[in-house]
Amino acid sequence: MAVNPKKLRPYDAPARRRTPLIPDGPDAAATVFLVAAIVWLVAATGIGLLWAGMQLFPDQLSLTLSIPTLSGTLDIVLSPATVGSGFWNAIVFGWLSNAGLGAVLFITPRVLGQRLADERVGAAAAGLWNVGMLAGLTAIYVPSIAATGTLAEFPLPVDGVLLLALLLVNDVFWRTGMSAGDRKPYASVWFFGVALLGFTVLYAVGTLVPLVAAGTTFSSLVGAAYARGLETVWILGVAFGVLYYIVPRATGNALHSSGVALLGWLAWAAFAVLAPLASLVDSSVPFALTQAGNAATIMLVIPAFLAIANLLLSVRDRWALLLSPGTVQFAMVALAFLAATALLEALSALGSVRELIGGTEWTTGVRFFAFLGAATFAFLALTDHAFPRLLRRDWRGTVVTTATLWATFAGTAVAGLALIAGGVVHGSLMSGGAGPDEIEATIFWTYAVGGAGLGLVALGGFAAAINVFLMYTEGRRAEYNVGAAAAAPAAAGAEL
């Protein structure tokens, strides 16, 4: 007699597989980091648009809210200063760092031919990082609990959570690398290793120095060097690693020269560490240290152009891919912004130029090229390549992909060039003794054009998020080979 399944008691039914609280499947950690990165890209560009508006109409858009508490009132301040801090922290620690950490955990097992040492630890790190980011970004708008310093405004408990997440990612990365045996590490792993260690040390220093020397000249100098180090060591370092993986993989060609890649890595590791010394501009700092930092900033052109030449030669016979929307287009735009950033930073290190543009919008414009140009397009190339594999979807370049590319490119170019040109004009007016009204008018139009550019970048970030959503909901189910025997990008052919 057939048994009616509806009358089965709960303990007679087959046991259901429980979903673990912390995912441990292949690429679980990379997926969490990269999905969070796309969310932060949308949030950061939205905050940036508000910040640009506040530069133009500070009185109309500024706001202070007082919330009653048991011990008094808590003021939430929306001002050009707090919103600007929120924008840069959301870009650097929300979008770029999530994407960078996700890139490390996605690429490393593929070039080493094995799974991560512990997916759960990596996924836990992703959770900690983003919970800490939400708390830290909220705290920035509450001056009574926020810390001080460029890219160091998070309270100490938040810094502790983020530092713990970094240590966990380091643990997974280095254990995976050491378990690879005699397998020769690929160029991307060289960059990731230095960038991760540098990021962890920089974050620890940026947390501890303001704590023990708040309000001193030493603290402000270290803070400036810390912010510069995040750009040269962490953001651009991990972007180099991503591009060295993405270009050979997307084109199906072998890397042109491992020797040139090694030379570029050695030059970058040496000069990127010294470049932050250029920020130590004070009479208490030996002149030789500052000059060493300026020289290193200029010399960073060498690893940048070695990488660009090496990767362009790796596209040989596949130039037609530049006509198709997707990974290769994003990577080539990243290389163009990388060249522009290296040249502009080198120009900024020259004494006569530094005197002209010091304290102007030039620095912000160059930072746009570095963060929203070179690094952002490197990570957009990664997400375009990685998400179909992470979500198991067959998804090629679409109209939304093209919209992401052109909106982000046009917005970054317009905003960056407007701020750079505005900085030159601003510096020239100050050296010529122009009045405050003339200088204020120049700054107004500079930020007006820059704000329009940020609006396009925000549109590009929204398009990137829509693309991932459509990929997951509309893309055809597909499987990709992620076997342990897969070859590194230096040997083309494996589908990863």
**Position 471 in a domain:** yes
pLDDT number for residue 496: 43
pLDDT number for residue 108: 94
pLDDT at 341 over 60: yes
**Position 224 in a domain:** no
Closest by CA to 27, choosing from 113, 97, 120, 153, is 120
Closest by CA to 270, choosing from 248, 299, 312, is 299
**Position 440 in a domain:** yes
pLDDT digits (tens, 9 = 90+) for 430-465: 888 888 888 888 888 888 999 999 999 999 999 999
Task: Please report which confidence band the pLDDT of residue 147 belongs to, taking 50, 70 and 90 as the band edges.
Answer: confident
Task: Please report which confidence band the pLDDT of residue 17 belongs to, taking 50, 70 and 90 as the band edges.
Answer: low
Name the residue range of residue 48's domain: 22-185
pLDDT digits (tens, 9 = 90+) for 220-243: 888 888 999 999 999 999 999 999
Task: Please report which confidence band the pLDDT of residue 486 belongs to, taking 50, 70 and 90 as the band edges.
Answer: very low
483/415 Cα distance (integer angstroms): 43
68 strand-pairing partners = 73
Higher pLDDT, 349 or 72: 349
Residues 33-62 have a mean pLDDT of: 91
Structural domains in the chain (count): 2
Residues 17-39 have a mean pLDDT of: 81
pLDDT number for residue 348: 92
**Position 120 in a domain:** yes
The last residue of a domain, from among 185, 214, 241? 185
Q: What percent of the chain has pLDDT over 90?
A: 60
Residue 365 DSSP label:
H
Q: Match 């000069």 to its residue by tokens.
A: 271
pLDDT, mean over the chain: 88
What's the one-letter identity of residue 130?
Answer: N
Ramachandran angles phi, psi of 180, nearest 5°: -75, -10
Token pair belonging to 445: 């139009």
466/463 Cα distance (integer angstroms): 5
**Position 233 in a domain:** no
The pTM assigned to this predicted structure is: 0.91
pLDDT at 418 over 80: yes
Burial class (CB in 10 A: 0-12, 13-18, 19+), 397: middle
Residues 409-423 have a mean pLDDT of: 95
Contact 365, 358 (CB under 8 A): no
Residues 69-97 have a mean pLDDT of: 88
pLDDT number for residue 488: 45
pLDDT at 415 over 90: yes
Contact 176, 225 (CB under 8 A): no
Torsion of CA 372, 306, 266, 240, to 10 degrees: 30
Contact 141, 78 (CB under 8 A): yes
Closest by CA to 247, choosing from 343, 322, 176, 189, is 322
**Position 16 in a domain:** no
**Position 418 in a domain:** yes
449/415 Cα distance (integer angstroms): 6
**Position 363 in a domain:** yes
**Domain containing residue 176: CATH number:** 1.20.120
Residues 197-218 have a mean pLDDT of: 83
Give the count of beta carbons closer than 10 Å to the beta carbon of residue 24.
14
